[in-house]
Structure 1
């Protein structure tokens, strides 16, 4: 991702969603908010996917399909 203020905000938002999602299951309202954010801009989805990948690689959070 490029280093711009917008990208920093998008990246931080993606990381915050990943943290929220892995701390506890999202309720239907939060899930709808995440979906809306992901669909709002392809940059959002790309940041979310990249951040999710980085977290899995570093082992900071379990994959959502793995038992806890």
Structure 2
């Protein structure tokens, strides 16, 4: 990885552009994002639990 002044300056400009565009979410937006994230975590947990139960059932019958 070659780091020179030009690449560092370009990276800093890109970071500044992102910070200018970004904003703090309002309460409603934050709650919606938190709900969607929580539902996603629950779904992944349920899928993992079901796979674990199926694995235990398969091992128990062999």
Q: Same-fold call, TM > 0.5?
A: no
- The structure in which a higher percent of residues are helix is 2
Higher relative contact order (CA 8 A, sep 6+): 1
TM-score range, shorter-chain basis? 0.3 to 0.5
The structure with the largest alpha-carbon Rg is 2
